[in-house]
Structure 1
Amino acid sequence: MFNNSSKILFLLIMIIGTLITVTSNSWLGAWMGLEINLLSFIPLMSDNNNLMSTEASLKYFLTQALASTVLLFSIILLMLKNNLNNSINESFTSMIMMSALLMKSGAAPFHFWFPNMMEGLTWMNTLLLMTWQKIAPLMLISYLNIKNLMLISVIISVITGAMGGLNQTSLRKLMAFSSINHLGWMLSMLMINKSIWLMYFSFYFFISFILTFMFNLLKVFHLNQLFSMFFSNKIIKFALFMNLLSLGGLPPFLGFLPKWLVIQQLTISNQYLLLLLMMMMTLITLFFYLRICYSAFMLNYYENNWMNMMQFNNFYMNLLLLFSFLSIFGLILISIFFLML
């Protein structure tokens, strides 16, 4: 297996691959960046302490290789279009290309590999998969902007993300279905306002970072571990569960701000039926977040005293609590700032 210095090198190569894709001025260059990104992320997934990492690496490679093959095929068709006397339907080729990119990003209905693969990863790798690995495919999707296919993907993504998380006991799968739901909101903004998509993604990255870092620090992977591990430090407990509510988009937490902007843009664009569906599905996601948080917020909840011996690094804990404070009260602070202007 790879040591820490090798993994840092692969992480840098992965970042470079994404930057190549985003800054490329040709489809072939973008495809090369995606391949560099893919081949550098697979070594990061290997872990001696996780027996499922090899299976997850294989699943990721096979699905991404399939998507890359379809993408390259559609790129070649577009390049040959002028040489074949326009006998190739360009819109059909663009739809094939977008389907491959939706598979790469893990959006529904091409999401089947995503939750199962998340189950075999560490928390830091799940953070990369939920956030950084979506940047390049989403940027390429924004160049195509086929509204009919994107609209179908938005509808299926928000429904799948909401319904799929209802019966989950694994926190990693819960975060995976939450990511699919958020991806539906991001895709809706790719159709209308790309700057708001970037803002939404930034807020999602920030809140996901806090949650995955906390889960990694506490070494929890399933709901029953959370229920038996309400620690003596009440501040950590409330910070963790309030960040979950922030991820769900519950006001007055910071996670509500990007959803608020999306709702405003969809209202201006007269997409009322789509907005109604997205809001209803978000209420379902909030239901299974509240199901986790409800018992923890009860004052008379039974707690195991033997869990009180957990010790944390003070620097990391203080930094994490500072970020949590921004996530929980960020919307209030932003509102006060704009009122003072």
Structure 2
Amino acid sequence: MFNNSSKILFMSIMMMGTMITVTANSWLGAWMGLEINLLSFIPLMSDSNNLMSTEASLKYFLTQALASTVLLFAIILMMLKNIIIIEMNQSYVTMMMLSSLLLKTGAAPFHFWFPNMMEGLSWMNALLLMTWQKIAPLMLISHINIQFMLIVSTIFSVIIGALGGINQTSLRKLMAFSSINHLGWMLSSLNINESIWMIYFFMYSFLSITLIFMFNLFKVSHFNQLFMMFFYSKNLKFILFLNFLSLGGLPPFLGFIPKWLMIQQLIISNQLFLLMIMILMSLITLSFYLRICYSAFMLNYHENNWIYEKQIKFSSLMIFYLMSFISIFGLSFITITYFML
């Protein structure tokens, strides 16, 4: 078990590895940054008091080591092709590189390790896995232009992310399948406009932080525990589930803005079939979010008169959570700017 100073050191090394990958001017340098990031994240995952976290760290190491091996092999083949005149189809090498990076991100159909591993992590480690650990592979994917393979991965990701979240009772698995679904939208945005991908990733990370902070604060892991949170405050109930709807992409919340931008770009680029699949799967995602929220909004709960310590902590962060509810102004501004241009 590491103390706080050791965790801060490992987190700094992990961020440094990501920065090395993002700023690398060669594939070998990018691979080195990915390995630094991997080796610094594994100690953060390990917990001597929790066997599930130890199992999750082992699964993560084996999966990422496989992806790194395939990526390094493809890099070596690419370097050999430049040095020695050999018969090699360049597209096969690029597909190997893209497959290994999709495995690192947990995108479908390479998602098999992601939901089960999320189940064994703490909420803070799960947040790092869903947000920060996706930056470096997605940046490298943006440099590989295999449109057909990205579209196939996008379709698989949105379908599996939507269907996998149905009838889930574990919040960690639900967040994992939600991450796979959003990853499909991010992969599609990499095909069209890189700036939209950055906007989408930033807003997805913001919404994930707001939800996971509350889950971690109240130590909840399953849906039946969520209803116990309502005894703290009715305002907490509404803010929690409205953030759920925002993560699902329901207008006019913050989570709808990047999807709205993507819908516009897909219509402009005439990818209507892909757009139809993505919207239909988003509706399925919204359906199980709404099913949870409907029961919470309709049922009445008794509210205690005394003040909890956690209520005081939460009230100081009220503005932070309410930011996801004011996106109607952002939508209006983007609409006016779009038509002016």
What's the TM-score once normalised by structure 2's chain length? 0.94
Contact 1:106 1:180 in 2 (8 A): yes
Within 5 Å, which residues of 2 pair with 1:1-341? Answer: 1-298=1-298, 301-303=299-301, 310-312=308-310, 314=312, 316-329=313-326, 331-335=327-331
* Alpha-carbon distance in 1 for matches of 2:185, 2:22: 21
Kindly tell me: are residues 339 and 156 of structure 1, through their superposed partners in 2, closer, same or farther at Cα, counting changes over 3 Å?
closer
Q: Which amino acid aligns with 1:312?
A: K
The C-alpha deviation readout for 1:103-122, integer Å capped at 9, x for no partner, is 00000000000000000011
Contact 2:196 2:262 in 1 (8 A): yes
Paired residue secondary structure (1:178) = helix
Task: Kindly state the Cα deviation for residue 197 of structure 1 after the two structures are TM-superposed.
Answer: 0.5
* Alpha-carbon distance in 2 for matches of 1:202, 1:145: 23
Kindly tell me: are residues 25 and 307 of structure 1, through their superposed partners in 2, closer, same or farther at Cα, counting changes over 3 Å?
farther
Task: Kindly state the Cα deviation for residue 328 of structure 1 after the two structures are TM-superposed.
Answer: 1.7
Q: Which amino acid aligns with 1:25?
A: N
After alignment, is 234-243 or 21-30 more displaced? 234-243
Paired residue secondary structure (1:312) = helix
After alignment, is 124-133 or 43-52 more displaced? 43-52
Contact 2:105 2:133 in 1 (8 A): yes
Kindly tell me: are residues 10 and 210 of structure 1, through their superposed partners in 2, closer, same or farther at Cα, counting changes over 3 Å?
same
Which segments of 5 or more consecutive residues in structure 2 lack a partner in the other structure? none
Contact 1:266 1:275 in 2 (8 A): yes
Contact 1:105 1:134 in 2 (8 A): yes
Kindly tell me: are residues 51 and 308 of structure 1, through their superposed partners in 2, closer, same or farther at Cα, counting changes over 3 Å?
farther
* Alpha-carbon distance in 1 for matches of 2:334, 2:144: 36
* Alpha-carbon distance in 2 for matches of 1:100, 1:203: 26
Contact 1:231 1:308 in 2 (8 A): no
Task: Kindly state the Cα deviation for residue 83 of structure 1 after the two structures are TM-superposed.
Answer: 3.3
The C-alpha deviation readout for 1:268-311, integer Å capped at 9, x for no partner, is 0000010000000000000111111111111xx25366897743
* Alpha-carbon distance in 1 for matches of 2:19, 2:188: 24
Aligned sequence identity (%): 68
The C-alpha deviation readout for 1:206-227, integer Å capped at 9, x for no partner, is 0001000011111110011113
Contact 2:71 2:96 in 1 (8 A): yes
* Alpha-carbon distance in 2 for matches of 1:338, 1:73: 44
Contact 2:230 2:236 in 1 (8 A): no
After alignment, is 76-85 or 209-218 more displaced? 76-85
Contact 2:249 2:256 in 1 (8 A): yes
Contact 1:211 1:243 in 2 (8 A): yes
The C-alpha deviation readout for 1:167-197, integer Å capped at 9, x for no partner, is 2110000000000000000000101111101
* Alpha-carbon distance in 2 for matches of 1:337, 1:160: 34
* Alpha-carbon distance in 1 for matches of 2:305, 2:230: 8
Paired residue secondary structure (1:220) = coil
* Alpha-carbon distance in 2 for matches of 1:53, 1:278: 33
After alignment, is 127-136 or 220-229 more displaced? 220-229
After alignment, is 75-84 or 304-313 more displaced? 304-313
Paired residue secondary structure (2:317) = helix
RMSD: 1.9
Contact 1:228 1:303 in 2 (8 A): no
Which segments of 5 or more consecutive residues in structure 1 lack a partner in the other structure? none
* Alpha-carbon distance in 2 for matches of 1:98, 1:307: 56
